[in-house]
Structure 1
Amino acid sequence: MGDRRVVHLVDDDEAIRKSVGFTLRTSGFVVQLYSSGPEFLKGAHEAEIGCVLLDVHMPDMDGLQVQATMTKSGIDMPVVVLTGNGDIALAVQAMKGGAVDFLAKPIEKALLLDAIERAFARINRADVRATEQAQAQAQVAVLTPREQDVLEGMAQGYPNKTIAYDLGISSRTVEVHRANLMFKLGVQTQADALRIAFAAGMGKAPKK
Structure 2
Amino acid sequence: MTQHSVFVIGDDQALRDSLLMLLRGEGIRARGFPSATAFLDALPEEKTACVITDLRMPQMEGAELIRHLSRLRGETWPVIVITGHAEVPLAVQLMKAGVVDFIEKPFDPNRILEAVRGCLSALERQEVESEAREEATSRLASLTPRERQVFEALIDGKSNKEIAISLSISPRTVEIFRAKVMQKMQATSLSMLVRMGLRCAEV
Q: String of CA shifts for 1:46-98, please: whole Å, max 9, x gaps.
A: 24632100111001101110010112223530111111153333322211111
User: What does 1:1-208 correspond to in 2, within 5 Å?
Assistant: 2=2, 4-44=3-43, 46-47=45-46, 49-74=48-73, 76-84=76-84, 86-126=86-126
Distance 1:56 1:34 in 2: 14
CA root-mean-square deviation: 2.0
Relative to structure 1, the CA distance from residue 99 to residue 45 in structure 2 (aligned partners, 3 Å threshold; closer, same or farther) is same
Relative to structure 1, the CA distance from residue 26 to residue 45 in structure 2 (aligned partners, 3 Å threshold; closer, same or farther) is closer
Relative to structure 1, the CA distance from residue 51 to residue 117 in structure 2 (aligned partners, 3 Å threshold; closer, same or farther) is same
Structure 1: gaps spanning 5 or more residues: 128-208
* SS of equivalent residue, structure 1 residue 86: coil
Q: 2:70 touches 2:98 (CA, 8 Å); kept in 1?
A: no
Distance 1:46 1:109 in 2: 28
Distance 2:107 2:19 in 1: 8
Residues matched between the structures, number: 126
TM-score of the superposed pair, with normalisation by structure 2: 0.57
Relative to structure 1, the CA distance from residue 48 to residue 30 in structure 2 (aligned partners, 3 Å threshold; closer, same or farther) is farther
Q: 2:24 touches 2:30 (CA, 8 Å); kept in 1?
A: yes
Distance 2:62 2:7 in 1: 13
* SS of equivalent residue, structure 1 residue 121: helix
Higher helix share: 2
Distance 2:5 2:44 in 1: 14
After alignment, is 61-70 or 83-92 more displaced? 83-92
Q: Shift of residue 27 of structure 1?
A: 1.1
Distance 2:10 2:87 in 1: 16
Q: Shift of residue 40 of structure 1?
A: 1.1
Relative to structure 1, the CA distance from residue 6 to residue 45 in structure 2 (aligned partners, 3 Å threshold; closer, same or farther) is closer
Aligned to 2:196: none
Q: 1:81 touches 1:91 (CA, 8 Å); kept in 2?
A: no
Distance 1:86 1:125 in 2: 31
Distance 1:85 1:58 in 2: 12
